[in-house]
């Protein structure tokens, strides 16, 4: 291929990209973030960056000057010096001094990052393939957070959905982690299966979730808002599809959110400002959670509606929304012997898993499992008419 052809291809691609630059974010640097630590980290990052730039300018300046001036055509007779102990000592010592100057502030920040004393609340984070579980240890709140349904649909191979039409593509979840502002929150981090890593760039917080370990980290966010991150440690097939979204609320709104989650009374201080609660706390976790209200006997219609949501969130990735699966790896549920046959076997597989299938007994509630099994046994023309109640799930081994 001639250089000319290559250039024309490159320029063609350039033109194409410029036209699609609508969603362009030519972000070239780390976010400054919204915590004291993230600002310190950003400062260290810029400091070491400029140190490198300064050294680079001097060193490469000398090199390129030499490349220019000491080429044979300009400098036909080479000099014959080839050692100098003094010079060697200078360029060993000087970098050493620069490094010590860098190490001192870096060590200070590092010690601060690892200091979890004086925390005001604790959230336990558990990584799963491929979702997160958040447990508020003081508030008795616990829920799962996984990739939002529209991103999940668009990211299928050959889905035909343009990612640009999906809001916060791959960076949106069904249930956000909700935190109060100006509060030192401690995170206890672990995993249920493989190693994951929980990361929010705006907090400068990243740590591995290791099965069998409980890691600690903390943050204290200054500015309310929504902050997004992703799992940072390769955790298998859907590693790229388990984002993290944190919504930071004012302390009052957070208290209201907690009250709503736990079904308790809204504290007086918050009740005084109902308008604010309505606008800020409404789009949060509870509203979108595919949870099931749990009456003793759920109706078929309720179970089907809830089951569809659960199915699309947790099962659709492999068995597909239309129930046809991706054989041979992921069998079809439509007309399958399991979904239309013995109910006990079906319940057992959902709870305990089978081969490549994850067990859901620990991560879904009895209500959710009952709903999804009801859905699977009646959707796509499976029409068994079976209605599975949460009590049956609770009774299953």
Partner 1 sequence: MSHAATHDGHDDHHGPAQLKDGLVPWVMRWIGTTNHKDLGTMYLIFAFTMFFIGGAMSLVIRAELFQPGMQLVSPEFFNSMTTMHALVMIFGGVMPGFVGLANWMVPMMIGAGDLALPRVNNWGFWILPFAFTMLLSTLFMDGGGPSGGWTMYPPLVLQTGDALPYVIFSIHLMGISSITGAINVVVTILNLRAPSMTLLKMPLFVWTWLITAYLLIAVMPVLAGAVTMLLTDRYFGTSFFTAAGGGDPVMFQHIFWFFGHPEVYILILPAFGIVSTIIPTFARKALFGYDSMVYATASIAFLSFIVWAHHMFTVGMPVAGELFFMFATMLIAVPTGVKVFNWIATMWRGSMTFETPMLFAVGFVFLFSLGGFSGLMLAIAPADFQYHDTYFVVAHFHYVLVPGAVFSIIAGVYYWIPKWTGVMYSEFWGKMHFWLSAIFINVTFFPQHFVGLAGMPRRIPDYNGQFADFNWISSVGAFAFFFAQFIFIFNMMRCMAKKGEPATQRVWEGAHGLEWTVPSPAPYHTFEVPPEQITIPEDELTAVHDEFDALDGHKLS
Q: Which of residues 139-168 bind partner 1 (CB under 8 A)?
A: 154-159, 161-164, 168
CA–CA gap between residue 113 and residue 34 (Å, rounded): 14
Nearest to 337 by CA among 371, 373, 370, 377: 377
Looking at 57, 96, 287, 342, which residue binds partner 1 (CB under 8 A)?
96
Three-state secondary-structure class, residue 216 = strand
Measured in degrees and rounded to the nearest 5, phi and psi for residue 276 equal -65, -40
Quote the least distance from Cβ 246 to partner 1, whole Å: 14
Nearest residue (CB) to partner 1, 208 versus 289: 208
Instruction: Find where tokens 């099962």 sit.
Output: 315
Q: Edge to edge, what strands does the sheet with 225-230 contain?
A: 177-180, 243-249, 225-230
- Residues within window 196-225 making contact with partner 1, judged by CB under 8 A: 197, 199, 201, 204-208, 210-213, 215-216
| Cα dihedral 108→111→117→123 (10° resolution) | 120
- Token reading at 152: 């999940």
Contact partners, residue 241, CB within 8 Å, separation at least 6:
130, 147, 151, 152, 155, 170
Compute how many other C-beta atoms are within 10 angstroms of the C-beta atom of residue 76.
7
Query: For residue 115, which of 249, 243, 217 has the smallest C-alpha distance?
Result: 217
Q: Is 321 in the site for partner 1 (CB under 8 A)?
A: no
CB of 214 to partner 1, least distance (A): 9
226 binds partner 1 (CB under 8 A): no
Mark 171-190 with x for binding to partner 1 (rule: CB under 8 A) and - for no binding. Answer: x-----------------x-
CB of 27 to partner 1, least distance (A): 4
The reply to whether 354 sits near partner 1 by the rule CB under 8 A is: no
Q: Which of residues 2-31 bind partner 1 (CB under 8 A)?
A: 6, 10, 13, 17, 20-21, 23-31
Q: State the minimum distance, in angstroms, from the CB of residue 130 to partner 1.
A: 10
Euclidean distance between the first and the last CA atom of the chain, given in angstroms as a whole number: 66
Q: Among 71, 283, 299, 353, which residue sits at the site for partner 1 (rule: CB under 8 A)?
A: 71
Is residue 52 close enough to count as binding partner 1 by CB under 8 A?
A: yes
Q: Which one of residues 121, 194, 318, 396 is an interface residue with partner 1 (CB under 8 A)?
A: 194
The DSSP secondary-structure symbol of 187 reads: E
Within 258-277, the residues that bind partner 1 by CB under 8 A are none
CB 187 within 8 A of CB 123: yes
Instruction: Read off the DSSP letter of residue 156.
Output: S
Judged by CB under 8 A, the residue of 78, 118, 263, 397 near partner 1 is: 78
Residues contacting residue 137 through CB under 8 Å, at least 6 positions apart? 121, 122, 123, 124, 188
Please identify which residue in 123, 125, 141, 170 interacts with partner 1, judged by CB under 8 A.
170
Among 123, 147, 221, 231, binds partner 1 (CB under 8 A): 231
Token pair in block for residue 338: 């399991």
Is 246 near partner 1 (CB under 8 A)? no
The span from the CA of 231 to the CA of 130, in Å, is: 9
Least distance CB 144 / partner 1 (angstroms) = 20
Query: Which residue, 99 or 287, is less far from partner 1 as judged by CB?
Result: 99
* Choice between 141 and 204, CB closer to partner 1: 204
CB nearer partner 1, residue 92 or residue 293: 92
Is 60 near partner 1 (CB under 8 A)?
A: yes
* Residue 141, strand partner residues: 136
Using rule CB under 8 A, residue 114 touches partner 1? yes
Nearer to partner 1, 101 or 394 (CB): 101
**Beta carbon nearer to partner 1, 97 or 296:** 97
Residue 4: CB minimum distance to partner 1, A: 13
Q: Which of 2, 5, 19, 92 binds partner 1 (CB under 8 A)?
A: 92
Which of the stretches 48-56, 271-279, 280-288, 374-382 binds partner 1 when contact is defined by CB under 8 A?
48-56
Secondary structure (DSSP) of 85-121: HHHHHHHHHHHHHHHHHHHHHHHHHHHHHT--TT-SE
Number of residues that bind partner 1 (CB under 8 A): 108
Q: How is residue 147 written in tokens?
A: 């990739």
């Amino acid at each position: 291929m001639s250089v000319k052809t290559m250039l024309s291809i490159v320029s063609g691609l350039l033109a194409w990209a410029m036209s699609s630059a609508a969603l362009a974010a030519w972000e070239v640097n780390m976010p400054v973030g919204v915590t004291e630590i993230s600002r310190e980290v950003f400062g260290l990052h810029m400091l070491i960056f400029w140190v490198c730039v300064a050294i680079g300018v001097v060193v490469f300046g000398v090199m390129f000057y030499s490349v220019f001036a000491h080429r044979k055509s300009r400098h036909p007779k080479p000099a014959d010096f080839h050692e100098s102990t003094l010079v060697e000592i200078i360029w060993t010592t000087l970098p050493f001094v620069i490094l010590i100057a860098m190490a001192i502030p870096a060590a200070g920040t590092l010690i601060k990052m690892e200091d979890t004393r004086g925390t005001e609340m604790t959230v336990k984070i558990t990584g799963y393939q491929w979702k997160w579980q958040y447990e508020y240890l003081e508030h008795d709140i616990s829920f799962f957070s996984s990739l939002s349904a529209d991103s999940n649909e668009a990211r299928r191979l050959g889905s035909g959905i343009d990612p640009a039409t999906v809001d916060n593509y791959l960076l949106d979840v069904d249930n956000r982690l909700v935190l109060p502002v100006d509060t030192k929150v401690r995170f206890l981090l672990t995993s249920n299966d493989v190693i994951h890593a929980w990361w929010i760039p705006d907090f400068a917080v990243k740590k591995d979730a290791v099965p069998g370990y409980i890691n600690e980290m903390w943050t204290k966010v200054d500015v309310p808002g929504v902050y997004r991150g992703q799992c940072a440690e390769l955790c298998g097939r859907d590693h790229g599809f388990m984002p993290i979204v944190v919504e930071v609320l004012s302390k009052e709104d957070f208290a209201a959110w907690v009250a709503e989650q736990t079904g308790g009374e809204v504290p007086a201080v918050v009740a005084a400002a109902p308008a604010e609660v309505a606008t800020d706390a409404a789009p949060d976790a509870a509203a979108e959670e595919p949870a099931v209200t749990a009456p003793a006997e759920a109706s078929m219609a309720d179970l089907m509606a809830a089951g569809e949501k659960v199915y699309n969130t947790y099962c659709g990735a492999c068995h597909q929304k239309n129930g046809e699966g991706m054989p041979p790896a992921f069998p079809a549920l439509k007309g399958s012997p399991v979904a239309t046959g013995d109910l006990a076997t079906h319940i057992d597989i959902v709870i305990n898993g089978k081969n490549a299938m994850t067990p859901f007994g620990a991560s879904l509630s009895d209500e959710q499992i009952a709903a999804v099994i009801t859905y699977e046994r009646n959707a796509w023309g499976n029409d068994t008419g079976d209605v599975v109640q949460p009590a049956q799930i609770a009774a299953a081994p």
